[in-house]
Structure 1
Amino acid sequence: MNRRFFIASATALSLTPIASYALSTTEAKSLVDRVVKDINKVIGSGKSVSAMIRDFEGIFKRYADVTWIAGSALGPDARRMSSAQRNTYVGAFTKYISGKYGRRFKEFEGGKINVVSAKAEKNYFRVEAQATLPGQAPFALDFLVSNRTGKNLFFDMVVEGISLRLSEKSEIGAMLDKRGGDLDAFIGDLQKLG
């Protein structure tokens, strides 16, 4: 229990995606079908890890609510940022996430992700997929989709019940705390990790 936990709890509702009645189950599934198609293409491309990371960054920018995910990962401290800091942070966060998860694409070689179903859940849609890797049991990979920005985008991926967004929130918070809450130092270090 620390300052970050209490502030994050108090502001959680403000960071929850806003309900949108224009998005349908079919549209949410269609978005994830496109995401999965692009990811499968990268997996099967035989490209180098650095090329896969660039491709993943493009997928992330195209289909994810990058600004919201970055803000949510930082939590209430995002409100302290100037416009310039926010832009730099979102760019650094995008490269950091793309590099971190793009490097894992090599593990998916010879595997495939398939969309299974989609359903409305609270104020968003959950699109369930299944990832199959060579020599491993299939595992669940869910995409949470909203159109709170006016565009259909995913705002989280849940792997076997573990939210990647919330996992990143914990790591990003620890990085900022380690730098005594200094946003510029944190952003600079995050840029180096991307």
Structure 2
Amino acid sequence: MSSNQTPKFVLPNNDPEQQASTTLEIEPEDTFDYSKRSQWLRAAVLGANDGLVSTASLMMGVGAVKQDIKVMILSGFAGLVAGACSMAIGEFVSVYSQLDIEVAQMKREKERGQGREREKSSEERESLPNPLQAAAASALAFSVGAMVPLLAASFIRDYRVRLGVVVSAVTLALVVFGWLGAVLGKAPVLRSAVRVLVGGWLAMAVTFGLTKLIGSSGL
């Protein structure tokens, strides 16, 4: 075949050099930076874990001195509402502060660069954190986690069985949250699940024990 008849697109062959170059071209497209997930991962998984642990600990603390199911459910519901509002407001303030810092830094870099690289500047604006999105994600995730002990205790009248079911449901949810956070963040699964589980158990045990101690002392 003459040189002027050479096709524009060459089919891949068994040449190791060509295969290596093809691999190098495809590999960056399949590479994903998991650090980009850190913002919503922190707001979602950690928010759900906080809702689970804090609400369950509050219910266990009230259950240590009050066996009435209505008191336990009301305390858990109050913890859900208060915690969701607190998480949303705290996340909004925190992310908004981060947004102000990043916007100020972008302005300083633009002034030093004398208006160059406008496309890069527009991409940076799109990647800026969203305070409202982070606040909504935190409130929703906290509520989802808090619903676990509430639903577990809602239909059980017997006091001891109710406490056992709450602990069992929270234990399962803690393992799931720890596993989910590790998988999404590409972290060690077993270590993450065990850390989350032990922390949740410790929070419930401390709250139950101290409330029981104070309640039995007659204060």
Instruction: Specify if TM > 0.5.
Output: no
Computing the radius of gyration from Cα coordinates, the structure with the larger value is 2
Which has the higher relative contact order, 1 or 2, with Cα contacts under 8 A spaced 6 or more apart? Answer: 2
Length-normalised TM-score, structure 2:
0.29
Higher strand share: 1
